[in-house]
Chains A and B, each alone.
Chain A
Amino acid sequence: MQNFIDAYSWVNLRFLLEGLWVTIYVSAISVVFSFIIGAILGFIRYVKIKYVSALVGFLIDVIRNLPLLLIIFFMYFGLPNTIGVRLSTVNAAILSLTIFESAMLAEIIRSGISAVDTGQMEAARSNGMSFMQAMWYIILPQALRRMVPPIVSQFVSLVKDSSLATIILLPELMFHSQVIYGQNTNYMIPMFVALAVLYFIICFLLSQLSHLLARKLG
């Protein structure tokens, strides 16, 4: 018990919260970017532009089938070496998460749109709507309702996945807890409890958001 009291000293808690802030910051930016990019890529894949869609689809499949850990390593160590940009750990983490999660989201969005009955598109078009109009007014609203739960659960994954960036010493929640218990192993169990609770709170709140959205849209 004493370990818990000592471990949750103000100094340690503040350090953990600093880590939590980086986790939230990196996740939030990656969520926005990956949603935009994922939506564009998913759409390109759905509309089947000759060659372009196949190429995009292939790149998405490659990224989806690689471990995120590898993408993080590659972005932090490999990419600067290859094209000569210098990335901070925060930017490398945001970039890796965005690349990985937008590929995952693109697939969700593509299959979400495809799942809406194709007959509806034809009906809308024969009623004089353009492809874009039919997409915007008929298909997307329906697809969105289907897509919200998987998209939000992908965002939850993103938050959880950001912990992997501890490998490049991103000063996020997991890393900061490792710094604390690394300096005093008595704090190990309290730190794991704190990690579990903090991640759970963020992720659980996020997934509740999905129910809320689903109800609104439904």
Chain B
Amino acid sequence: MKQTHFKVRPFLLVGLLLTLLTVLSGCGDNLAQQDVMARVERTNRITWGVKNDTRLFGLMNIKTGQIEGFDVDIATAVSKEIFGKDVNVKFVPVTSNTRLPLLKNGNIDALAATMTITPERKKEIMFSDTYFNAGQAIMVKKGSKIKSVKDLTKGTKVLGLQGSNSVANIKKYAPQAKVLQLADTAQAFTALKSGQGDALTSDNGILYGLNRDDPKYQVVGGTFTNEPYGIGANKGQEKFVQAINKALKKIEADGTYQQIVDKWFGKVAGFDGSVIK
């Protein structure tokens, strides 16, 4: 009797499991469809996803616990422009890997997180106009034999960020190199310093920020792609995206944008501020 019991169960259970999986993967309705404009006007509170480990763009200040950087300032300026000076701007840290799911799930209303506007992402979310022009580059230890992306040949290891456009690109520009993808910028840079890879690839602005942390590393070979950053919002939020675009134009016209650029990139050696916009 025990024997038959044992025989029947696995079969039943597998069936049960498959049903469960199908039910779970079949659903899909969420908060992200609510109109952001209407909700923020009602609650006076907007949530942005920003990086928290990327110097110059979004970096956690250990002293204050606040995230600071170019993206944070742009997000604040845009929010205030749209919803008034008193709007509550909240920041949620994201990584390249977590930012899209968090936006699509409605955890955050908008993304200003060093995110390149790409056709693939456009299928998933909406983008504002470009607010920052970056380009992909590589960073190596000073004295490394690798001088540009062309030197990433067979046998070399490149570190990148999961979910970033740079790892997608590097497979085209250096198809022979082995790509190791880490969870965020800080992890990838730590891995580079520990010798886990020969080079680190990301966007120039991000790499210059890392360079400031440790001058023993340098950006080599210049940029080899164009990475226009856009603010991300959910599909269906046309009104919100239009408002963002209008706000971006406004802060550019009244000099706020230039102030923010100068604040973060004015003193960055080797970074030509004029290419940003």
Contact = CB atoms under 8 A, between A and B. Distances in A.
Contacts of B9: 54
Contacts of A18: 65
State the majority secondary structure of interface residues on A: helix
B188 to A, nearest CB: 10
Contacts, number: 76
Interface string A56-93: 00100010000000000000111011111011100000
Contacts of A88: 107
Interface stretch (A40-48, A154-162, A177-185): A177-185
Contacts of B102: 77
Q: Identify the interface centre among A54, A78, A82: most chain B CB within 10 Å of its CB.
A: A82
B41 interface: no
Contacts of B186: 178-179, 182-183
Interface residues of A, number: 31
A18 B61 CA distance: 13
Contact of A167 (B28, B52, B183): B183
A182 B63 contact: no
A178 B62 contact: no
Interface string A177-205: 01111111100100000000000000000
Contact of B105 (A55, A77, A183): A77
B27 A179 contact: no
Contact of B28 (A12, A15, A82): A82
A182 B93 contact: no
Interface string B53-78: 10100011011010000000000000
B105 A80 contact: yes
